[in-house]
Amino acid sequence: MTAKVNCEINTNLEPAKSPAKTKVQRALSSHAFLGLTLSILLFLICLSGSLVVFFEEFERWEQPQIPEYSNYTAPQLETALDAFLDRVEEVPESIYLVLPTAAVPRIHIAGDNQEWFVAEDGALLEPPVEGWTYFLKELHISLHLPHTIGLIIVGAFGAMLLGLIITGVLAHPRIVKDAFLWRRHNSERLKQVDLHNRLGVWGIPFFVMIALTGAFIGLVSVLILVTASAFYQNDREAVVDEVYGPDIQVNAELEPVNFRAILTNFAAHDDSASPIYLVLQNYGTRQQFVEVAATLPERLIYSEIYRYHVNGEYINQQGMSNGPWGQQLAYSVYRLHFGHFGSAWVKVLYFCLGIALTVVCVSGVNIWLLRRQPALFYRRAWTAMVWGTPMALALSMFAIGKWFSAGQLFISGVALSLVIAFCCRSYRLSRCLLQLITAAILVFVVIAHRLLFDYPVQLDATNGVNAGCILLALGLVVSAVKTLFEHAKLAAGEVTGAPIQLTDS
């Protein structure tokens, strides 16, 4: 007799996963999360860096009521110094008198984190605010981490960016052909590949320069530490003196600063140099002297420094313009990295190339997302950061009203973008919504700025920032409407006849 056994098999059950396979999946998930986190930080650095190019214009826009002028006099500087000394409780070791330039036609006096703008008659005005522009600069320089740690991390990202550029070039044997390839009507992944390759190839010289200078600025403290340990018996000050020149020792009679004699002798010494600030070192002691920092025509060095006794007698110059080539190169990194040389069009070019680098970073992650098809969480989180960060930065501009800090507004904007991205059924629709919200915020920022401040309508920097906000808002609206229109055409079967996928699932 044969026994019959009825076995009911549940076909909906998935086969049990082996422990090894589970570990691999967990490792891949961790790798994806780490990669996305690093990509977000690199995106933040590139985007904020593109905007920081205009930080001088943003500072003027943030306080448009400060009087602007290009000429200054010795009596004006003397009055400002006297007013500054009356206000501070203790005389700073270094007192800075920042002179008007074409980029920032304002004077301010500072020392030991105490700072005020200076009127044309030498009177002290309100202090510079640490508002939106300060928030933007710190976001790029240190990611708002403790300054030294953040600076090193940002410098390390510059080094990683250089590595990505080199490996990207080595991974593209058809680099010349890719520079002209643009398959607009193919799959979304191929569009992203062509966008990534095209911008990446054309921008290689600029990207390499930005990566190198950014790595140097961020990692210079580490380089000094290593060099001091290896060659200078851990004397970091000796390394700094070797690169930037040592401080001088002065022992002279106590007497007041003669600004007229200093400015007259400076003009006679080098009439091609344009002074940008004066530093009163060790003021009120027998070791006091004055440094005049000045830019030189057709030179990338940040400044040459000329030293004078307080009576106007010339001492020497630091040698940034005629010292060893390594010294000149180190002192040229700042202007080269931020595009602060030449005309205003250099800043515009840096901004455009910086945005191109940002797009290359974004498209690189998009290619990975489209190829691997990871969990929906990653796609939505990436969409929220790419399109939510501009919205958060725009929202943080309302810090001009002083109701909330720029940091609070930025965090609120990022949180809102995450809510929108995870609540929308499609990451494409969340992108359009974030673009439209950003455009609306930019328009309201311009309106609020005009209502909050009473300033002359001819201020070029302020009008330039406001015009830029309006143009960017229009561009975002056009992009969002175009995407929605394409979706509508696909849904109606006008392009391919295939139904559109309205959700991410």
The pLDDT tens digits for 390-442 are: 999 999 999 999 889 999 999 999 999 999 998 987 778 899 999 999 999 99
pLDDT of residue 420: 94
In angstroms, rounded to a whole number, what is the distance separating the alpha carbons of residues 477 and 471? 10
Q: Confirm whether 256 is domain-assigned.
A: yes
Query: Is residue 37 over pLDDT 60?
Result: yes
Q: Confirm whether 72 is domain-assigned.
A: yes
| Greater model confidence, 23 or 358 | 358
Looking at the chain, the whole-number percentage of residues with pLDDT higher than 70 is 85
Query: Is residue 176 over pLDDT 70?
Result: no
pLDDT of residue 306: 95
pLDDT of residue 179: 64
Looking at the structure of the chain, the number of domains it has is 1
Q: How far is CA 54 from CA 104, 327, 465, in A?
A: 11, 27, 9
pLDDT of residue 503: 40
DSSP-assigned letter for residue 18:
P
Tell me, what amino acid is at 103? A
| Greater model confidence, 161 or 496 | 161
DSSP letters for 325-349:
HHHHHHTTHHHHHHT-SSSHHHHHH
Query: Is residue 293 over pLDDT 70?
Result: yes
* Helix intervals (H) in 270-375: 325-330, 333-338, 344-372
Q: How far is CA 80 from CA 76, 216, 311, in A?
A: 6, 36, 18
**Rounded to 5, what percent of the chain is helix, strand, coil?**
60, 10, 30
pLDDT of residue 91: 94
pLDDT of residue 187: 74
Q: Confirm whether 113 is domain-assigned.
A: yes
Q: Where residue 182 falls among pLDDT bands split at 50, 70, 90?
A: low
Q: Where residue 385 falls among pLDDT bands split at 50, 70, 90?
A: very high
Strand partners, 291: 279, 307
First and final C-alpha spacing in the chain:
53
Average pLDDT over residues 252-273: 92
Tens digits of residue pLDDT in 127-145: 999 999 999 999 999 999 9
pLDDT of residue 180: 65
| Greater model confidence, 486 or 374 | 486
Average pLDDT over residues 321-328: 80
Q: Where residue 12 falls among pLDDT bands split at 50, 70, 90?
A: very low
Strand partners, 95: 280
Tell me, what amino acid is at 6? N
Least confident of 27-31, 87-91, 106-110, 231-235: 27-31
Q: Where residue 379 falls among pLDDT bands split at 50, 70, 90?
A: confident
Q: What is the radius of gyration, based on Cα positions, of the chain? A: 28
Task: Quickly count: other Cβ atoms within 10 Å of residue 232's Cβ.
Answer: 15
| Greater model confidence, 242 or 308 | 308
Give Cα 338 distance to the centre of its chain: 8
Average pLDDT over residues 1-12: 42
Query: Is residue 7 over pLDDT 60?
Result: no
pLDDT of residue 377: 77
87: which 2 tokens? 């206000």
Q: Where residue 9 falls among pLDDT bands split at 50, 70, 90?
A: very low
Q: Confirm whether 18 is domain-assigned.
A: no
Average pLDDT over residues 344-360: 95
Largest CA distance in the chain: 124
91 touches 284 (CB < 8 A): yes
Q: Mean pLDDT over all residues of the chain? A: 86
Average pLDDT over residues 117-122: 96
65: which 2 tokens? 């009521």
Q: Confirm whether 275 is domain-assigned.
A: yes
In angstroms, rounded to a whole number, what is the distance separating the alpha carbons of residues 505 and 301? 55
Q: Confirm whether 163 is domain-assigned.
A: no
Average pLDDT over residues 473-498: 75
pLDDT of residue 1: 42
Query: Is residue 311 over pLDDT 50?
Result: yes
Query: Is residue 321 over pLDDT 80?
Result: yes
111 SS3 class: strand
Q: Which residue has the tokens 């380089």?
A: 223
Q: Confirm whether 121 is domain-assigned.
A: yes
Q: Confirm whether 463 is domain-assigned.
A: no
Query: Is residue 389 over pLDDT 90?
Result: yes
* Residue 289 structural domain: 67-128+246-318
Query: Is residue 19 over pLDDT 80?
Result: no
pTM (global) more than 0.85:
yes
Query: Is residue 318 over pLDDT 60?
Result: yes
pLDDT of residue 431: 92
In angstroms, rounded to a whole number, what is the distance separating the alpha carbons of residues 127 and 69? 17
